[in-house]
Structure 1
């Protein structure tokens, strides 16, 4: 079996619970240490998992930590990633890779110079939902892909998050928050993006926290909260992406892929599974496709497991893919401000299709 792969977590907010549920199940990963700005939260997590509660610097120096799992708020992603790289650690981070393209590029450049690796969420697109849709497109089920739509609407995270400030500060907003799921899924299915055009707006200048100890507190909104982008893929397909904190709900499919001989309904890329449906020319109704690819019963951390234990040279949730998606998002936002079509310079290969893999395999 070999030596267990040691994980250290920085940041123990809401998303950490999902990762912890996955990590504690894996026999070849060991949670060595956790760190958080709230020492009590770190101590409680350590007690529940058997890990050590350490300061960030101490954890990054720990000899048994092979990979740092960076679950801090987006504004801290680059700082923590660069610190981990500086200690010779591989680093796998929550989305987005960073909040600026310059920071994202700095992370990958530093990792290359240090001889370490970078991985980046989302890994939800490695589940049976996105991967089955990709397999269908790759097999020619809809003919040549022509276009896609990706749509996400919600009234805002202040409705459920007790500390939603960072969603409305620079580096936040609906595109950087939710866009990674949708754009990564589009890149998985249709390939990399070569240009982006965007437009954006802001419904109101302040939001009111609706839950938790700060209920009723107003917070400022300093970023646009409704963003639409048009993406040109290298394949020639065009995608329209709309991410919004200014709506309530939509009945549209989260993602639709349209080709010359059929259309696909793709499930929510923030989830690992869901129905993939096909409507071909001459059909009278949608057909549900059985899962044909992806991690079965996937959960947060599947990408981290592959990053730590899989092909070291070609992780499925790579930093290169994370950087490409970040550049696409920043291009949309730059275009919204400038009114210009923005060229996307980064080049990335689609990761290999994930074979249909039962949980007994990817969790072992």
Structure 2
């Protein structure tokens, strides 16, 4: 009987010891995974790739954003580096070329072992892949039709106010508000229009004799149609870029969408050809800081750049902006700001010693 009890005690001890060891093993933390490139865009050996393509990489895990830059993520053509900007968000890194890629050309993208996961673990080997661009300029976005709203450098519904002295090239239009809501210009009336020393062009308002009132009604209707067209374009190429802060970025052709405000705290570059189109859908305000600039590159034209802004569009003192502004709420140019484009507002346009020039 004693021997049997001793054996039972030994068995229990062994079970306890085994269970304890198992628990110790289970509580040990698993090693962090080695990151891998899960997907690339374009894919390896892709052909007919759009010449404004943003090259992107999806990683298997969260990465250390500081390790992903123009040294560790590159694009080359025949060994020559392509200039561009690199960004990282979520598990995706993007390389945005500064200029449109050459037609029918082989490019090589590389992600080096310099990229690391959030735990500091590098990918095991360089990831390199090739793709070839399309032989022709691919059909891109269709420009937004302005209709007769495109006859005006400034078009508003409620008021156009100005702190002298501004220099404006192009016609001004206001409707359904009357001439008295155009202030700061010292207007001289003519039949169906007015003139001002600050305006190289004519000034029109809804209370002027026919056909001015009819023309303005049509232009405002066309402005609203253009706004709705720009706001309704589907399938954006870029969604929430920079979480709304686009300072310092190079913007290639395509459709951009933000569900909140957009800020421009430093210079931005819009890069593409004369045939390319940009549409920026902004659900909140657009705010540009003082002394910052929009710079066009590669032949990009202000007449093909459309800023659809649901909120206020405000441009800081001595800033310079380019493109067609389609604003639902209003446009304000601070002291000394310059603008090359058209300001089309469903409420007011406010000026303060500005230079405004309609695009060619």
Which has more strand, going by share of residues?
A: 2
Q: TM-score, normalised by structure 2?
A: 0.25
Larger Rg: 2
Normalised TM-score (structure 1): 0.25
Ranked by relative contact order (alpha carbons within 8 Å, sequence separation 6 or more), the top structure is 1
